[in-house]
Structure 1
């Protein structure tokens, strides 16, 4: 007799189960703490903390998980081609960094951790850490609370109410980049926009999962996080949020008919925000017409293509582009050189320029076999996972658009993209004895 599928009907607390939070393993709390602490990454010294708490919680979570035999009894990992591609890219980047002297300097090491190692580990461990519905509900609540903080902070920044902004370094023009936009604790508007987008998708799912106060709070966060995306004044994230929302609704049969309503409603909400928030319309209009950042992309991308032409197999070395960019940038006839000490504003070209075409091919393979695979129909024994597929695809769209227009060095957006994909692909990258006994699954077709 087939084991009944786990119901997706929300319960009072939205967990999908009766387990108490007190029984939640320590490693789950460590990974949730990593997500929260990630927002302060690279700025811990300004908070008087000598060592990043996100690093401590991440490696502590990995250690606790490895030492907990019960965690591996429920689910086990299934090796797939994506794992081979990730291992190959990590190995190639590590060898390149060691060979070009960037492995042991802080920038090269943290770039390796934040752009490859931690996101890949999160993807691999997500099916184990968040194997239970109640643990996924805790993740959902964490992202809702995070979206509340980021959304409110974005409003306070836009209104220039600096006395109410926490931490105070957010209001310091000398800290970070892009002062004048909503930057949040990242001190970078693009990271702020991408994080708000992740919270937007998570809060949208939470509205349908939770009841009572959590449901109303989630609905509020949907609006606040969408506002945070708008106030980040980052065009790539704007486009990514629209694309991700449409894709998430397309793969969810029950939501397809609401796509026109969602688009019209979203446009109306933006119009209201522009009319109500002082100075926002002027900022958005100015940002939409900015051309300098476009010229920066032209220059760095052109330099990357020249490197690929000259060094197609090895590139110039892991994160070495900043050191050699002035040797490869050329003056164009129709626009000037505004800045050469910046990274390539296209991650695919960046991988090719720094790791050679083999590195770029491995990076593309990781994406196609990992987050992009969420596009394919999935078979879920737990119906509760259906919504996570939509959340993952939405965030992957935001991340993917931004990859084409930015170096995306930010820890939290990278981590969340791969973590959400690992959850959405639980049936593909992991297995359990219950899966083997059960034939009661939900097959999702486009």
Structure 2
């Protein structure tokens, strides 16, 4: 049997035995594909490796291994997956270089906080946009990613339900239930121990599950449907307004963009409303928590204070800012008591990513980051689709960008998994723009016209 048949998932000489099946699964995709998928999945635990009893994050090890294996694989770069140099690559490189220079100049590059913030907020998302078109070059690889996201979504949704409604004994890892770990205890925080990250991740995985219901059959379609049905509960339970707003806008915009989905919008909105009301009635105390969270003003006051302080920093340091991740250190010098709202916290990050970049990197750094976001995720959502499958991933990019925009504008948004996923989806949706050639489902090169060379 030719190797291409095995790579495509066809029969192999291993026979129907369990060992033969495992060998086919292991060899269905290059090792670097499994590394990137594993890294993305395990990044839900990023920053909490001590709670897992591990000395180093497995997601970081897998990402490094995936990059090394990809760079050493000549087939990946020769068989129709060669990147094209585009403006987004230049802008991302300039943004990363400026940020690294700022961190080095202000002594934060080699600090754990400064170094990992540089990786998680800039370098890794940018690299994922660059390599995603090559790593997920085939339909089979993209479906592998979708299945992984469906499983992650199911895990996160069940964890949210167990956190808020019980049984708490089913919550894993156990550090999630520790009030001294993370922020926002009392809300559904999941493995991120941060409610906004939890809500974003559930919403993104739910959008991926919607695509899964269209692409899969049998058991995988059933699991995807379960994730979609549980999504309203998963989005509500973290009690995060930026996620509520972002999810609602993402659903409406995505349906309006697609002529096929447009007619389903009233039914989708009605079904979502019924699901939310059911969750509010079924989970004890949730309605009171939602009402209290919807009316709270402290987080709004914190946002106003930090954003105004960031503007004062920009006025004083417009070209270079105060240095990478140094806003928390200097913010007490720039916070002023307002006549309209109290000062509740001063040593917190600016609650707007653009303002944070401007305060720490100067206006040039903020402009570069905005340009990267516009040429990357935003462009993925706006480009005209090429073919049915590309159109599906473009809709997923539309949903992810709409959701992502609100945490970007209303919080520091430092969370690895949701940010990594948004830039990965953008890279897949931008594949026709970022690389030359296409690959068939079995990894065989295919010309743009559709014929094999």
TM-score bin (small chain) = over 0.9
Q: TM-score, normalised by structure 1?
A: 0.92
In 1, Cα distance between equivalents of 2:292 and 2:438: 57
Instruction: Please name the residue that 1:300 is paired with.
Output: 306
Contact 2:437 2:448 in 1 (8 A): no
In 1, Cα distance between equivalents of 2:161 and 2:62: 29
Of residues 337, 340, 343, the one that matches 1:334 is 340
In 1, Cα distance between equivalents of 2:70 and 2:276: 43
Q: 4+ residue stretches of structure 1 with deviation over 4 A? A: 15-20, 433-437
Of residues 200, 208, 214, the one that matches 1:202 is 208
Q: What are the within-5 Å matches in structure 2 for residues 127-276 of structure 1?
A: 127-276=133-282
2:66 aligned with 1:61, yes or no? Answer: yes
**SS in structure 2 of the partner of residue 84 of structure 1:** helix
Report deviation, 1:161: 2.8
Contact 2:381 2:397 in 1 (8 A): no
**SS in structure 1 of the partner of residue 93 of structure 2:** helix
Report the CA distance shift for 1:364/1:56 in structure 2 as closer, same or farther (over 3 A): same
Contact 2:310 2:355 in 1 (8 A): yes
Instruction: Please name the residue that 1:26 is paired with.
Output: 31
In 2, Cα distance between equivalents of 1:16 and 1:348: 44
In 1, Cα distance between equivalents of 2:238 and 2:69: 37
Report deviation, 1:273: 1.2
Instruction: Please name the residue that 2:431 is paired with.
Output: 426
Report deviation, 1:74: 2.8
Tell me the matched-pair count: 426
In 2, Cα distance between equivalents of 1:340 and 1:128: 44
**SS in structure 2 of the partner of residue 176 of structure 1:** coil
Q: Which runs of 5+ in 2 are unaligned?
A: 1-6, 12-23, 440-444
Q: What are the within-5 Å matches in structure 2 for residues 58-97 of structure 1?
A: 58-72=63-77, 73-97=79-103
Instruction: Please name the residue that 1:400 is paired with.
Output: 405
**SS in structure 1 of the partner of residue 263 of structure 2:** helix
**SS in structure 1 of the partner of residue 308 of structure 2:** helix
Report deviation, 1:275: 1.1
2:372 aligned with 1:366, yes or no? Answer: yes
Contact 1:17 1:133 in 2 (8 A): no
CA deviation profile, 1:237-271 (whole Å, cap 9, x unmatched): 11111111122222222111111221122111111
Q: TM-score, normalised by structure 2?
A: 0.91
Instruction: Please name the residue that 1:316 is paired with.
Output: 322
Contact 1:196 1:226 in 2 (8 A): no
Q: Which runs of 5+ in 1 are unaligned?
A: 1-14, 442-446
